[in-house]
């Protein structure tokens, strides 16, 4: 179970590079605690009327990026397994925790840089100028919706669990 979860995470991270740019009008259907960045990218690529050739180019770019991150993702997975195999009273427990933290940080940095490189490559070499304009517009609209949501949440705070028990 843990192996498939980690592999799913790595795949989602790689696909997050373009955030399923060719997901179609129904949306990508992401969930989980980190869906915001991927969903934002998907929203920006939605509605660009990509041709089949463009979709193919994007798929190729994503696959190349995924392949370049695969070995590092596997190393993080192994570090996580090694850490989880240890007992908290083991002599190498803290060192394994520090090693895992470093591996996770490096992998996160690599994923973010790769996602930016993929997005730039798609933007500059795959999209037409009209699609680039639409991409920028979509991204700005998503950011505006996110800001409106933050303002709404700030003006409508949810009651805490403790205050409802009184």
pLDDT of residue 31: 37
pLDDT of residue 20: 39
CA distance 25 to 116: 23
pLDDT of residue 42: 52
pLDDT of residue 43: 53
pLDDT of residue 102: 93
CA distance 98 to 86: 13
CA distance 147 to 85: 42
pLDDT of residue 159: 83
For the purposes of burial, counting CB atoms within 10 Å of the CB of 14, is it exposed (0-12), middle (13-18) or buried (19 or more)?
buried
For the purposes of burial, counting CB atoms within 10 Å of the CB of 94, is it exposed (0-12), middle (13-18) or buried (19 or more)?
exposed
pLDDT tens, N- to C-terminus, the chain (166 residues) = 455 544 444 444 444 544 433 333 333 333 334 444 444 455 557 788 899 999 899 889 989 999 999 999 999 999 999 899 999 999 989 999 999 999 999 999 999 999 999 999 999 999 999 999 999 988 888 899 999 999 999 998 888 776 555 5
Q: H-helix or E-strand containing 5?
A: helix 2-15
| Residue found by looking up tokens 């592999």 in the block | 7
Give the global pTM: 0.63
pLDDT of residue 106: 94
| Segment 42-61, tens digit of pLDDT | 555 778 889 999 989 988 99
């Amino acid at each position: 179970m843990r192996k498939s979860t980690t592999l799913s995470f790595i795949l989602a991270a790689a696909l997050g590079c373009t955030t399923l740019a060719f997901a179609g009008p129904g949306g990508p259907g992401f969930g989980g605690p980190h869906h915001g960045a991927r969903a934002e990218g998907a929203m920006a690529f939605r509605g660009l009327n990509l041709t089949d050739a463009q979709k193919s180019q994007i798929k190729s770019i994503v696959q190349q990026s995924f392949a370049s991150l695969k070995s590092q993702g596997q190393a993080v997975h192994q570090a996580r397994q090694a850490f989880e195999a240890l007992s908290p009273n083991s002599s190498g427990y803290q060192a394994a925790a520090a090693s895992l933290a470093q591996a996770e940080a490096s992998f996160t940095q690599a994923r973010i840089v790769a996602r930016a490189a993929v997005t730039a490559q798609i933007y500059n070499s795959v999209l037409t100028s009209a699609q680039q304009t639409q991409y920028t517009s979509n991204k700005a609209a998503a950011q505006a919706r996110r800001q409106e949501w933050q303002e709404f949440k700030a003006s409508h705070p949810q009651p805490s669990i403790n205050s409802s028990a009184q």
